[in-house]
Structure 1
C-alpha cells in the first residue's frame, strides 16, 4: 500500500473520480468511518469523502467517553442503552490501548438520586451489559479514593465503570481497517451537490478544497454521515431536522487536579450531569448542552458563559483546589447532531439521542447517533443501501479491528507498546521504523512520542498543521499555548516529511495559531 499522504492524494484523485463505486460515504467522522469499514470488509467498492479533515467535527471534540448512556435509562431508552453497553464491551475487548476502562464515582450528598435509587439504576445498567459493575463506598473509603472532594453533606459514593478513548485516533484506526480491506478515503473534498437522474441519486459533485478542481463521482448508492450537516444535501421532507447542540469542555494540567476516577454529579444550576475526569494525563471538565447558533462551517468554540458554568461545577466538588481560568490549558467544543421534531423547543438535554435514517432512492442519510454504537449504525446504513447496490447484507459479528500484536519497539514499556498498538493498529511496522530512528522520547509532558508525530506527517494524510496537532496527535490540546514552544522542533522534524517549503510552513503555522487562539483557548 502506497503512503497515504498529500502526494498520493493529488495523484490518486483523478483516477478515483473516474471509477464506478458501489458506495460513496460523505462524512469522515466515526459514523462515516464505520460505514466505510463495514462496506470494505464485504468487498464493496467504497470511497469516503470528507470536506475538512477526518474527525474534524464532533468526532474529535466529543466528551471522549465510550459508554452506554446511563441517563438514557431514566428516559426509557432501554434499547439504546442495551446496544451501547454491549458495543462498549466489544470495543474494550478489541481495542485495548485505544479504548480503556474508566471508573466513575457518583458522590451522594442527600439529594436525588440517593444511593439506593442510583444503585437500582446501575443494577439495570449492569444487567443490560451482562455483568455486575458497581459498588457503594462509605465516606471513610471515599476520602482515599477521591482526595480533595468536598465533604459538605457527603454520605458516600457509588463507583461504576464505563470507558474512555481518544476519539480522533479511534476514527483514524477505523479508517485504517477500511483501507486495509480496499476502501479509499479522502479529506479536503467538499461535496457540492448530489447527482440525480430520474428521481434517483446516482453520484455527486465535489470540489477539491486544496486545488479548487471539481470532480464528478458515480455511485450506486450514497451514504450521508455528515452529522450536524445532514440537512444540507438530503432531499428534506417531513418535520424532523437536525438540532445542533454544543457541548464544551475545559482541559487542565493533570498535576493541577489529579484524579484516578471520573467524578459524575449534577450541576446545581440546571440539574444536568457533569463530569470531571482524567484523560491523556490531563483533567477534563465537561460538558455543556445548549443550542449551537453559530455557523457550522467554522470550528465551534466555547462561550464565556460555558467557561463560568464548568468552573463553577468544578469548584462545587473541589473547592480547596481553587481551579480558575489561569489553570485552563485549552478548551474544545463539539456540535452534537441531535434529531429534533421541529415542534416544541424542548430543553437540549431533553432531546432523545436515538438516531434516524432518511432514505430516498440511491441515498441514505444517517441523523443522530452515538460514538459508542458506530458499528451498529454502519450496519443499518448498509442494510438500507444494499438494495441500491444489488447485494444482500448480513451481520456475522466480525471484529471492527483486526487482531494485531504489538511490533518490536526496544526501549518502550509494555504500557507504551499497548498504547501504540491501540492507536495505530496495522501501521505499527511503519511506526516501529520511526521509533528505531527517533527512540522513545516524548513530546513535552505528554505520552505522545516524536516518532508518532513523524509517522503522522509521513503517512496519515495530513493536509494542514491543525490536522497534525489537533487530530493525528492531541499536542495542541495537551501542551500550553497549543504547543507553541515545541513548534520549532516540530517544524524541523515534520516540514520535510510534509513537503512544505518555508513560506508554506509559515502560512500554516500562522493559521494554526490563530485557529487555536480563536477556538481552542479561553474566550478573549
Structure 2
C-alpha cells in the first residue's frame, strides 16, 4: 500500500522528484486512489490516467520491490496450465504475448523453449496435442510454432544427458519484469498520475461518496480524498481489506481469501552456450525452467511453497530456503550432464504469488487467473484485484479501468492494446517498425552510429533498459567522460542521476536489482560503491518537506 504528499521533496525540484503532484485534484483529492505499486497497480494507474482520470498511486516500498520483480520473467501462455483445463486463461495469456512484445521490444523479446522428452513423465502424443493447442489457441504473427527436435544431432542436446534423445521446441517470450513495472509507472506519470513510493496507506475510511485515506511517508502523514479506491496490494490485498480499510456501515470488505505461494529461483554460472531456454518435467508433475540470464548466467526456477498469511508481517522480502535450493539443483541435475550443486549457486531470489484460493490441494494447481471484485453498494466504489500473472497484467488493467469507469458512472474508452510503453516506440531511431526482435537490433545499430563513443556493452545494456529513451540518460554527452564519474563498472553518475530524477530510485537496491541487474555482475566492493553514492545524497529526498 502507498502514496506520497503533493508537496515536492525538499532539496529537489518537482521535476527531480519524479512525483507529478500536479495530477492530484485540489486539496489532495483525486478520482481514484490505487494501493500497490506492483505490475497490477502500476498497470491500472497507467490505464486510468490514460483515460483522463485523476489518479494517485501509493506504494509502501519501491516499485516491483516484491512479487513483480521476483517472477520467472516470462511472457507466456502457461503450457502446463492446459493439464488443469485452464483453456480460457491460456488463451488470454497467449493473446497478450505479441501485444506486449510490440509495446516494448527493448525489455521483452521472443524466446524459444526446448522440452526434452521423458516418456516416464508424459507420453509424446500428449505433448504434441498440448503444443498444437498452444500454437493455435491464439493468433501468432511474430512467434514461430512448435516443432520436434533430435537432441542427438542438435546443439540443444549438448548440455543434456545422453538419455534424452528427442524433444520439442516451442515459443514464448522473455521480460525484464521490474522494468516493466517502472515503464507502466512512467507512462502513468506522463499521463498525469501522481505516483508515490515509500508511502504507506495506514487507513482508508469509506464514506457514502468518497474514501478518506491516511498516507504516511518520510515527512509525516497526509489525508487524501478519493472518489474510488483500487486495492492492488498483491499478497497484502486481503490484509489491506481486513486491517486497513474501514467500511461505511460495518459490512465486511474482505470476501475472498488468498493462497500465498512462494516461488524461488537460483542463478548459476552459464550452463549452455545457445540462446534457447529449457523446460524440464519433474517426477512430482511440476516443471522448472532453465533460462539464459544476463549473458553470463543460467536462471533456474521455480518452486511452489505455500506460506501462512502471518509470514507477510511488514513488507519484508521473501527468502529461499535450503530445501528449495536442493530441490531446484536436484531437478536440474536430472537433465544436465554437468550436475547443478548448491555450492554452484551465485544468487537467489524469491517472491510470493497471491493466488486466489480455489480449494485446490496442490499449490501448483491453484489457478493463475485473476478476479476483479467490486463493492459499489452502501458506499464509495471499491475494486479489489485477486490473483493474476504478469503476462495478463495489461488485460487485467484494462478490465479494471472499465469497471472503475462503470462504478464512477463514466466508462471511458480503452486505449492500451495498440500503445507503446515508454521507450518502446522506436520510430525516431529506426523508422517504420517491422518485427519486435529485429527492431531492437536496428535500434542498437542506430545508437552505435549516433554515439560511436559508447562502449558496445554499455550501449547494449542501455538500449535494453531505456529503448528510445536512451537520449534522456545520455543527455548532451559527446564522449564517455561527459557521463561523469564511473561509480561502478559501466555505471556512471549521469545514469544514476537519471534514475533518481525520472525513475524513483532512492537506494542502491532500486538500481542494482530492479532498475537493472548490475548487482549480479558486481563484487561486494563495487555494490558498496553504489550504496555509498546513495548514502551521500539521501538528504535530498529524506528531509521533511517545508510547511
TM-score of the two chains, using structure 2 as the length reference: 0.81
CA contact (8 A) 2:109 2:174 kept: yes
**CA shift for structure 1 position 487:** 3.4
CA contact (8 A) 2:51 2:414 kept: no
Q: Give, in whole Å, the separation in 2 of the partners of 1:413 and 1:92.
A: 27
Q: Give, in whole Å, the separation in 2 of the partners of 1:468 and 1:5.
A: 22
CA contact (8 A) 1:102 1:261 kept: yes
Aligned to 2:325: 307
1:356-382: CA deviation from partner (whole Å, max 9, x where unpaired): 112113110011011011111011111
Q: Give, in whole Å, the separation in 1 of the partners of 2:233 and 2:384.
A: 8
**CA shift for structure 1 position 246:** 0.2
For residues 66-77 of structure 1, the aligned pairs below 5 Å read: 66-77=75-86
Q: How many residues align?
A: 487
Gaps of 5+ in 2: 1-6, 243-251, 430-446, 543-547
The 3 A distance-change label for structure 1 pair 3 and 316 is: farther
The 3 A distance-change label for structure 1 pair 364 and 15 is: closer
Aligned to 2:248: none
Tell me if 1:134 matches 2:151: no
Q: Residue 371 of structure 1 is aligned with which of 368, 387, 390? A: 390
Q: Give, in whole Å, the separation in 2 of the partners of 1:433 and 1:232.
A: 44
Aligned-partner SS, 1:291: strand
Aligned to 2:405: 386
**CA shift for structure 1 position 463:** 2.3
Aligned to 1:220: 227
Aligned-partner SS, 1:90: helix
**CA shift for structure 1 position 333:** 0.3
Aligned-partner SS, 1:109: coil
For residues 41-440 of structure 1, the aligned pairs below 5 Å read: 41-131=50-140, 133-142=145-154, 144-152=155-163, 154-198=164-208, 201-208=210-217, 210-211=218-219, 213-234=220-241, 236=252, 240-254=256-270, 257-268=272-283, 270-281=284-295, 282-293=297-308, 294-296=311-313, 297-318=315-336, 320-341=337-358, 344=359, 346-361=361-376, 362-396=381-415, 397-401=417-421, 403-404=425-426, 405-406=428-429, 408-412=450-454, 420-425=462-467, 427-433=469-475, 436=478, 438=480
Deviates more, 1:430-439 or 1:298-307: 430-439
Aligned-partner SS, 1:221: strand
Deviates more, 1:330-339 or 1:450-459: 450-459
CA contact (8 A) 2:236 2:312 kept: no
**CA shift for structure 1 position 325:** 2.4
**CA shift for structure 1 position 475:** 2.3
CA contact (8 A) 1:106 1:157 kept: yes
Aligned-partner SS, 2:319: coil
1:426-461: CA deviation from partner (whole Å, max 9, x where unpaired): 64322122865646999988x877754443244322
CA contact (8 A) 2:261 2:354 kept: yes
Q: Give, in whole Å, the separation in 2 of the partners of 1:432 and 1:412.
A: 10
The 3 A distance-change label for structure 1 pair 219 and 91 is: same
Gaps of 5+ in 1: 505-524
CA contact (8 A) 2:35 2:233 kept: yes
TM-score of the two chains, using structure 1 as the length reference: 0.84
CA contact (8 A) 1:51 1:189 kept: yes
The 3 A distance-change label for structure 1 pair 419 and 178 is: farther
The 3 A distance-change label for structure 1 pair 448 and 346 is: farther
Q: Give, in whole Å, the separation in 2 of the partners of 1:261 and 1:490.
A: 33
Aligned-partner SS, 1:125: helix
For residues 473-488 of structure 1, the aligned pairs below 5 Å read: 473-476=516-519, 478-479=520-521, 483-487=523-527
Q: Give, in whole Å, the separation in 2 of the partners of 1:50 and 1:205.
A: 13
Q: Give, in whole Å, the separation in 2 of the partners of 1:394 and 1:203.
A: 28
Q: Give, in whole Å, the separation in 1 of the partners of 2:293 and 2:137.
A: 26
Aligned to 2:499: 456
CA contact (8 A) 1:173 1:425 kept: no
Q: Give, in whole Å, the separation in 2 of the partners of 1:285 and 1:450.
A: 33
Write out the 4+ residue segments of structure 1 that deviate beyond 6 Å after TM superposition: 2-6, 10-15, 413-416, 439-445, 447-450
**CA shift for structure 1 position 424:** 2.3
Q: Give, in whole Å, the separation in 2 of the partners of 1:444 and 1:10.
A: 24
CA contact (8 A) 1:29 1:56 kept: yes
Deviates more, 1:466-475 or 1:409-418: 409-418
1:185-241: CA deviation from partner (whole Å, max 9, x where unpaired): 11011111212114x652321211x23x11111111111111111112226567630
The 3 A distance-change label for structure 1 pair 54 and 5 is: farther
Aligned-partner SS, 2:212: strand
